[in-house]
Structure 1
Amino acid sequence: MDSVDQRTRLVGQNRLELLLFRLNGRQLYGINVFKVKEVLQCPRLTAIPRLNPMVRGVAHIRGGTLPIIDLGRATGGRALEDLSSAFVIITEYNNRVQGFLVRAVERIVNLNWSDVHPPPRGTGRDHYLTAVTRVEEQMVEIVDVEKVLAEVIAVVDPVPQRAREGGPVAGPGSRRILIVDDSSVARRQIIRCVEALGIEVHALNDGRQALDWLQAQADQGVDVPGELLMMISDIEMPEMDGYTLTAEVRNDPRLKGLHVMLHTSLSGVFNQAMVRKVGADDFLAKFSPDELAERVLARMQGVGT
């Protein structure tokens, strides 16, 4: 709980902690500490027939059996060779626990999200990065873990059951939803889920883009809370995280009535405290299309269309 309290105090300060690690070579990579349960020397791995080639095996850890994903191979590089000196980062994403096999773990650094930037233009669409930053003059690449998991583990159909069975639910003229997420995979999943309900979507890549767009709408005289049904925002994003975005929305009299749902692969007890602190209306862990659809429909019913 001391750790939870300490990290909760970072909310509204647009800060994050990254665990730095290496795969093959000297390149540094980062992963949000919030998603890390523990780091340990690579345990004995058990091979299972017909595993995805990116999964090196399963490990028995603290009474559970976890898939161990070779992060080097999963991001398009070569497989790690010497497992005896490798490490496993145990993580929790989207209510699923797995281990990422890495060559070396460096340290934890505290950064400001404003120093974390989207991948440079020209890197194409097939890269595995959500952001880049610099630590002591070294480039750090932040891996799009949701993309890795979508390719390694079967991903649920993003179309909610209600839409599959009965088609669009919302009628013409329903208010739009703003979706904010830096992961291209997560963004597509959410867009497909919401559009299947018959609701128009405006999607942006990070909190800074979202805040600039919302304020530009307000500058043009748009009643933003009246025009948008809600904003569904990720938490981890370059430039500005979802917590800070929510706090900025609440601090702007023209935007403060906007319904905000934080939708994230982060999990843990600290989330509820953070959601309350920044004033979000709702919180949902990724990714359940049926539950997301129910939250959206409940919002529609609460305000009418």
Structure 2
Amino acid sequence: MSQSQQDIEQRVRLAGSNMFELLLFRLGEAPGSEDRELFGINVFKVREILAMPAITAVAGAKPEILGVADIRGQIIPVIDLARITGCRPKNGPKILLVTEFARTTQGFAVEEVDDIVRLEWNQVLSAESHSGGRTVTSFARIDGNVDGSRLAQVLDVERIVRDTLPGQTTEISEEATGRIKLKPGARVLAADDSGVARALIEQSLTAMGVPFVMTKTGQEAWKVLEDLLARTRKDGTEVADHIALVLTDLEMPEMDGFTLTRRIKSDAGLRHIPVVIHSSLSGSANEQHVRKVGANAYVSKFEPTELANVMRGALRAA
């Protein structure tokens, strides 16, 4: 079995258990204290971890951009996570995390890498209900769901890249997406934990003329479906009369998109609803991965025209 295939099989096994692996790192002392807080990023977004290479400063770049680095013949921007989070590294960033997601490759400069931990998604809690920070999407309870567990802040890297790098804005219009017609009374159920991703999805669905219900986690989306199941059993309708398609992210607190997809496809009252996975985890390996868990289609973030075309295809095939 090739290494790529082994990676796919590993991800499927983790997804089947509502689990994932989190790379923990530190950025320096937190603002106003001497504490060196833990931060995290999903392992599957990290291509490689390197000692900090030579950085070439770029004239006119934002202060959050350290410059660019030549990594195996590819010139990539290097983002200063310590500056973005307000942390103070004592000896400067020593490690470069080379990441691939949302059709982009970039480096994140960090002070040090701490560990890789395997967690259940129910150990991850949404940050939106616990803090006002824009750059943190969730908190991971490293020691399990116990009082006093160490917490790692999971950064909203999609927002960081979009806010920091040039050329990351996306034009969203009806001309780009076209209109999608659903049967009367039906909506799209969408789930994504990133605030910036939800805003882009809402703009795209609005441009398509598609009514929708937006949720922040797989658990919230599943609750919507459970409530509809209970209601339709009473009034004799089908959930598919109300939800035409489910559009879900993969990485979400409480319940990930894999588990949500598996639950939908294993329920007789829901399995005919098409599920489109809309993820920043890009690449052919991830496409194979999501199909193995039963999704009808996969689209990498974020191209509204492609999103609309994939949704049309899934709806036609349903």
Q: What's the secondary structure of 1:44's corresponding residue?
A: coil
1:15 corresponds in structure 2 to: 19
Deviations 1:107-145 (A, max 9, x none): 110011011111163522x43111112224311110011
Q: Counterpart amino acid of 1:62?
A: R
Q: What's the secondary structure of 1:159's corresponding residue?
A: coil
CA–CA separation in structure 2 for the residues paired with 1:266 and 1:227 = 29
2:292 corresponds in structure 1 to: 277
Say whether residues 1:107 and 2:115 are aligned partners. Answer: yes
Evaluate the alpha carbon distance shift between residue 11 and residue 184 of structure 1 in structure 2; reply closer, same or farther with a 3 A threshold.
same
- Once the two structures are TM-superposed, the CA of residue 97 in structure 1 deviates from its matched residue by 0.4
8 Å CA contact 1:131, 1:142 repeated in 2: yes
8 Å CA contact 1:72, 1:102 repeated in 2: yes
- Once the two structures are TM-superposed, the CA of residue 204 in structure 1 deviates from its matched residue by 0.2
5+ unaligned residues in a row in structure 1: which ranges? Answer: none
CA–CA separation in structure 2 for the residues paired with 1:97 and 1:139 = 27
1:61 corresponds in structure 2 to: 71
Evaluate the alpha carbon distance shift between residue 106 and residue 285 of structure 1 in structure 2; reply closer, same or farther with a 3 A threshold.
same
1:202 corresponds in structure 2 to: 213
Q: 1:118 aligns with which of 126, 147, 152?
A: 126
8 Å CA contact 1:229, 1:299 repeated in 2: no
How many residues get paired?
A: 298
- Once the two structures are TM-superposed, the CA of residue 297 in structure 1 deviates from its matched residue by 3.5
8 Å CA contact 1:171, 1:198 repeated in 2: no
Q: Counterpart amino acid of 2:56?
A: T
Q: Counterpart amino acid of 2:97?
A: I
CA–CA separation in structure 2 for the residues paired with 1:166 and 1:110 = 38
Q: Counterpart amino acid of 1:240?
A: M
Evaluate the alpha carbon distance shift between residue 139 and residue 243 of structure 1 in structure 2; reply closer, same or farther with a 3 A threshold.
same
CA–CA separation in structure 1 for the residues paired with 2:197 and 2:82 = 21
Q: Counterpart amino acid of 1:49?
A: A
1:152 corresponds in structure 2 to: 164
Say whether residues 1:88 and 2:96 are aligned partners. Answer: yes
CA–CA separation in structure 1 for the residues paired with 2:256 and 2:187 = 22
Q: TM-score, normalised by structure 1?
A: 0.91
Q: Counterpart amino acid of 2:16?
A: G
Evaluate the alpha carbon distance shift between residue 92 and residue 167 of structure 1 in structure 2; reply closer, same or farther with a 3 A threshold.
closer
- Once the two structures are TM-superposed, the CA of residue 269 in structure 1 deviates from its matched residue by 4.1
Q: 2:153 aligns with which of 141, 148, 165?
A: 141
2:305 corresponds in structure 1 to: 290
8 Å CA contact 1:70, 1:79 repeated in 2: no
Deviations 1:130-171 (A, max 9, x none): 1112224311110011111110123333514xx137975548
8 Å CA contact 1:243, 1:274 repeated in 2: no
Q: Counterpart amino acid of 1:105?
A: V
Identical positions, percent? 36
CA–CA separation in structure 1 for the residues paired with 2:74 and 2:187 = 43
Q: What's the secondary structure of 2:210's corresponding residue?
A: coil
CA–CA separation in structure 2 for the residues paired with 1:192 and 1:22 = 35
1:192 corresponds in structure 2 to: 203
8 Å CA contact 2:245, 2:274 repeated in 1: yes
5+ unaligned residues in a row in structure 2: which ranges? Answer: 30-35, 144-148
2:61 corresponds in structure 1 to: 51
Evaluate the alpha carbon distance shift between residue 167 and residue 39 of structure 1 in structure 2; reply closer, same or farther with a 3 A threshold.
closer
RMSD: 2.2
8 Å CA contact 1:70, 1:80 repeated in 2: no
Q: Counterpart amino acid of 2:120?
A: N
Evaluate the alpha carbon distance shift between residue 3 and residue 167 of structure 1 in structure 2; reply closer, same or farther with a 3 A threshold.
closer
Evaluate the alpha carbon distance shift between residue 18 and residue 165 of structure 1 in structure 2; reply closer, same or farther with a 3 A threshold.
closer
Q: What's the secondary structure of 2:126's corresponding residue?
A: coil
Q: TM-score, normalised by structure 2?
A: 0.87
Evaluate the alpha carbon distance shift between residue 174 and residue 233 of structure 1 in structure 2; reply closer, same or farther with a 3 A threshold.
same
2:187 corresponds in structure 1 to: 176
- Once the two structures are TM-superposed, the CA of residue 275 in structure 1 deviates from its matched residue by 1.7
Evaluate the alpha carbon distance shift between residue 216 and residue 10 of structure 1 in structure 2; reply closer, same or farther with a 3 A threshold.
same
- Once the two structures are TM-superposed, the CA of residue 271 in structure 1 deviates from its matched residue by 1.7
- Once the two structures are TM-superposed, the CA of residue 79 in structure 1 deviates from its matched residue by 6.2
CA–CA separation in structure 2 for the residues paired with 1:111 and 1:158 = 36
CA–CA separation in structure 1 for the residues paired with 2:219 and 2:230 = 16
8 Å CA contact 1:11, 1:274 repeated in 2: no
Pairs within 5 Å for 1:21-36: 21-25=25-29, 26-36=36-46
Evaluate the alpha carbon distance shift between residue 181 and residue 158 of structure 1 in structure 2; reply closer, same or farther with a 3 A threshold.
farther
Q: What's the secondary structure of 1:92's corresponding residue?
A: strand
Q: Counterpart amino acid of 2:211?
A: E
Say whether residues 1:262 and 2:270 are aligned partners. Answer: no
Q: Counterpart amino acid of 1:281?
A: N
